[in-house]
Amino acid sequence: MAAVRATFSLGRVAGIRVGVHWSVLVIFGVILVGLAEGGFREAHPDRPVWQYWAASAVTAAVFLLSLLAHELSHALVARRNGVSVDGITLWLLGGLARLRNEAATPGAELRIAGVGPLVSLVLGGLFAVAAGLLAGLSDAGLAVGALAWLAAINILLAIFNALPAAPLDGGRLLRAIVWWKTGSPLRATAVATAAGRVLGWLLVGIGVYLVLFGAVFSGIWLVIIGWFVIAMATAEGGQARLRELLGGIPVSDAMTPDPVTVPAASTVREFLADPRLRYRHSAFPVVDDGDTAVGLVTLKDADAVTEPERASRTVADVMVPVDELPTPRPDDPLARLVPELQAGSVHRALVLEGGRLAGIVTSSDISRVTSWLMSSSAWRRRAM
C-alpha cells in the first residue's frame, strides 16, 4: 500500500495531505459510463442525453468524496490515538490512509479500524433518507436514482470493509480482538492475514466462475480485488515477521552515524556541483546555521529544478522538512521505525539525539540488518 503514490495533490484537509492517483480515473470512468449508458438510462428513459451524463458525473464525484470521508475518518482517529498520518491517497481500488506507525494498544487499533465502516454506513443512511425525501417530487427521478445508488454503494462498502480479513478494516478489527485476547500483536496479525488470504482466494474463485458463465466484467473486477487482498495480506504477514526479526534491535545498529550534511542556505546549483555530495549518496540531511537538522534533500528533487532557477533557489526550497520525516532516537526500537520508513515519501529517517543529528537510516540499512540477522547463528537458534 505504501507503494501507491499520489499523481497530484488536492491539498490538505484537517491538516492531512490528500492526493489522487491517476488510476482514480478508471473508477470515475466506470461509474460514469455504467450509470449514464446503463442504470440511469434504463430506469428513467426518454430524458435528454446530457442529463444522464451530468447526473452520472456528479454521482461519481460524490462517491469519490465518500471514499475520502471514509479514509479521512481513519486518519483523524489515528491521529487522536497517537498514530502519525503521512497522508491519504485515492486510487483504483478505493482509498488509502498511510499511517507512519502502528497503534500502541488493541483499543486504539479497534477505534481506528472501526470508524471507517461506521462512516460509510452513516453516509449510506443519509443518502437513503435524502432519496426518500425527494421521491415524492415528480421531476426528481434522476436525483433520487443517484442518491439511492450512493446509499447502496456506501452500505456495500461498509459491509465489505467489515469482513474479518486483512487488509480490510474488518481485518484490523479481528487483529485488535485477537491481540486483546492473546496479548500478542504478532499472533493477531498472523490470524488476520491468514483470513485475508482465504478471502482473497475466495473472491478470485468467484470471479473466475462469473467469467466462465458470461459475467466477464464483474468476474474480472472480483479477480482484481481478490488478488489485491491476497497480495496485501501476504505483505502484512511479511511485515509482521520482519518486526519480530528486528525485535530488540536499536536504531543505532542500523544507522549511518555522522552523515554528510548540506547547509540549508546552499543554492541548488552549489549542491549539484559538489562531487563530494553528488556521487556518494542520493539524499542528504539538511542543517541550518546552528547545525540543527531541518530536513532532507534528494538528488532527484534537486535535479527537478530547472537550470535557470538553480542559482536562485536554495536547498531549503526543495528539501523535505524535518517534520515530515521519521526522527527516531538512537536507542528507539528499529522495528517501530520500519512502517514509518515504508509510509514516508523518501524512505529515510533522521536519527536525532537531544536535537543533534546523530545519523541517518534508509530502507537499505534495514535490509542490511535483516540479512545479517537471517544469516546469523544467533537468529537461527532463536527462530527454532
**Would you tell me the crossing angle of helices 363-375 and 334-343 to the nearest 10 degrees?**
140
Q: State how far the Cα of 19 lies from the Cα of 11, in Å rounded to an integer.
A: 7
Sign of the dihedral through C-alpha 230, 231, 235, 238: positive
Provide φ and ψ at 97, rounded to 5°.
-95, 115
Percent of the chain with pLDDT over 70: 93
Q: State how far the Cα of 74 lies from the Cα of 69, in Å rounded to an integer.
A: 9
Written as nine digits, the cell of 306 is 530547472
- Is the pLDDT score of 78 beyond 90? yes
Provide φ and ψ at 88, rounded to 5°.
-125, 135
Mean pLDDT calculated for residue range 74-90: 89
What per-residue confidence (pLDDT) applies to 383? 46
The model's pTM? 0.76
What per-residue confidence (pLDDT) applies to 176? 94
Under a CB-based contact definition with an 8 Å cutoff, are residues 254 and 246 in contact? no
Please report the DSSP string for 13-37 in residue order: ETTEEEEE-TTHHHHHHHHHHHIII
- Whether 71 is a known active-site residue: answer yes
Of the residues 71, 109, 236, 340, which is catalytic?
71
Mean pLDDT calculated for residue range 7-23: 83
Does residue 266 sit in helix, strand or coil? coil
What per-residue confidence (pLDDT) applies to 5? 65
Does residue 328 sit in helix, strand or coil? coil
Q: State how far the Cα of 210 lies from the Cα of 187, in Å rounded to an integer.
A: 35
Reported as a single tens digit per residue, the pLDDT across 363-381 is 888 888 888 887 764 544 4
Q: State how far the Cα of 326 lies from the Cα of 328, in Å rounded to an integer.
A: 6
267 versus 6: the higher-pLDDT residue is 267
Under a CB-based contact definition with an 8 Å cutoff, are residues 53 and 32 in contact? yes
What per-residue confidence (pLDDT) applies to 321? 92
Backbone angle region of 45, left / alpha / beta, with phi > 0 → left and psi within -120 to 50 → alpha: beta
